[in-house]
Amino acid sequence: MKSNLSLFTVFGVAITLLVNAASAAELASNPAAAEINKICPISGKPADPNITVVYEGKKYAFSEDACRKKFNEARENSIYHKLGGKAAIDAAVESFYLKVLADDRIKHYFDDISMTKQRRKQKEFLSAALGGPIPWAGKDLRAAHANLPGLNETHFKAVAENLQKTLEELKVKKELIDQVMAIAASTRDEVLNRPKKAK
Ligand code: HEM
């Protein structure tokens, strides 16, 4: 038992070193990724450039070690991470909009929209909504959809169906799909510009 544990420890350290080496190489080849935040994303206090973590090629600094720990836990527990992180969300959004643009119930809404921008925004939005590390900095969903004529429940349902189908095709576990769909459903009132529910 004891020897098994130490074997695990050795493997654990080796894997950590490999991951750190890969992250360092990524940072070296991508100067933008080396830019570091001045404010701790957890505490809102000034970040210490010596307390950092690299996640998906981007370096994050924290005000104290407890914040770094909290950040790492949030990442590991997020739906975003469980889905496979940036690569998985990017692939899902690409496939999702292929379906949306082929869906006669809703495709007309995107006639005059730059789909390059739309795909980028949706990747950013979904990443943030599913617990990714970068907060959503775009429009709130009420404002984003306020000028779409006649937008109603049927359109919302069509979008949700396309999202669900995308995740099923990507063989995402049902439990995770249900979690993603619950988050999508939680945007309904804003997207359809319905009054906010009283708390
Ligand atoms: C789960 C529901 C939905 C989510 C999470 C969602 C998310 C988003 C996001 C993040 C944007 C970009 C906002 C920005 O510009 O900063 C956007 C824009 C847009 N969405 Fe949605 N959306 C949803 C439902 C729908 C539905 C049901 C339709 C119509 C069928 C729709 C059509 C559009 C269009 C046309 C735009 C571009 C608006 C513009 O640039 O003027 N969305 N959506």
Q: What is the pLDDT of residues 146-176, one digit of tens each?
A: 999 999 999 999 999 999 999 999 999 999 9
Give one DSSP letter per residue of 68-113, joined into a string: HHHHHHHHHHSHHHHHTHHHHHHHHHHHHHHHHHT-TTTGGGGTTS
C-alpha closest to that of 59 among 68, 126, 131: 68
The model carries a pTM of 0.85
Q: How many residues does the chain have?
A: 199
Same domain, 21 and 110: no
Check if 119 has its Cβ closer than 6 Å to any atom of ligand 1. no
Distance of CA 76 from the midpoint of ligand 1 (Å): 28
Integer Cα distance of 121 and 129 in angstroms: 12
Token pair 């990724």: residue: 33
User: Average pLDDT per run of 10 along the chain, which is 199 residues long?
Assistant: 37 37 48 78 97 97 98 98 97 98 98 98 98 96 97 98 98 98 98 85
**Residue 85 backbone zone (phi > 0: left; psi -120 to 50: alpha; other: beta):** left
| Whether residues 95 and 56 fall in one domain | no
In a domain, 199, yes or no: no
Q: Is the CB of 83 under 6 A from ligand 1?
A: no
The answer to whether residues 62 and 90 belong to one domain is no
**Atom 22 (ligand 1): residue with closest C-alpha?**
191
Question: 122 CB less than 6 Å from ligand 1?
Answer: yes
Q: Are residues 107 and 126 in the same domain?
A: yes
Q: What is the pLDDT of residue 108?
A: 98
Is 44 found in the same domain as 141? Answer: no
Question: Helix, strand or coil for residue 41?
Answer: coil
Domain that holds residue 40: 2-75
Q: Would you state the pLDDT for residue 164?
A: 98
Answer yes or no: is the C-beta of 153 below 6 A from any ligand 1 atom: no
